[in-house]
Structure 1
Amino acid sequence: VDYILGVNPAKMSYMVGFGDKYPQHIHHRGSSLPSVRVHPQPIHCGDGFQFLYNSSPNPNVLVGAVVGGPDSQDNFADDRNNYQQSEPATYINAPLVGALAFLAETVQKPVLY
């Protein structure tokens, strides 16, 4: 859990929105497209590539999402085209939820009198 949240060689949290340094270019359509308030025109399937290949950080921060993370040498490319490292997915987030639930349950609870 510590590694995911930033105690790692990159000193980077792999949970979006946690800490000072976290992924800014995640592979997630809802996060990488502008909101309808900013861009009220429809964005059709073929039109999305301009946002996919844009080098700016995602306009919508998907707080709490855990991305794939670094490779076996602890290298992480914060690039939304590198879906292996920058995509949040259920098979990535679910184990963290399980680990956090275990830790929350095993913490010594105060005795209520």
Structure 2
Amino acid sequence: MSYLVGYGEKYPQYVHHRGASIPADATTGCKDGWKWLESTEPNPNVATGALVGGPFLNETFVSNDRNNSKQVEPSTYNSALIVGLLSGLVTTSSLVQSFT
């Protein structure tokens, strides 16, 4: 199971994110998002690259509940780690010449 949305064959399909869970052609107001939050259908849009919270300490992961924000909500504190690691790899690589 990949916790990076859009990566691999199995990744979260019910990401807790308005941009992913509300269809692009929907006409909505501020309070209309509840019907998509509680929908049992996978998200109509894929939030490619979003890193979700992941499993609990006992290694359980409830991926089919969009309202499970602890595990399926992408956030910056999850993404910061991977951005830091990747930037460290780029800056220490002998293959990268320069971006300037």
Tell me the TM-score normalized by structure 1: 0.77
Q: 1:49 to 1:110 in 2, by over 3 A?
A: closer
Aligned length: 96
In structure 2, stretches of 5+ residues that fail to align are: none
Give the letter aligned to residue 84 of structure 2.
G
Q: 1:110 to 1:34 in 2, by over 3 A?
A: closer
What residue is the counterpart of 2:72 in the other structure? 86
Tell me the TM-score normalized by structure 2: 0.87
Pairing partner for 1:43 from 20, 28, 32: 28
What residue is the counterpart of 1:99 in the other structure? 85
What residue is the counterpart of 1:34 in the other structure? 23
Give the ranges of 4+ consecutive aligned residues of structure 1 lying more than 2 Å apart after TM superposition. 103-111
Residues 10-50 of structure 1, C-alpha deviation per residue, up to 9 Å, x if partnerless? xx1100000000000010011100112xx3xx212222111
In structure 1, stretches of 5+ residues that fail to align are: 1-11
1:108 to partner: Cα distance: 4.1
What residue is the counterpart of 1:19 in the other structure? 8
Query: In percent, how many aligned pairs have the same letter?
Result: 49
- CA-atom RMSD in angstroms: 1.7
Pairing partner for 1:56 from 31, 41, 63: 41
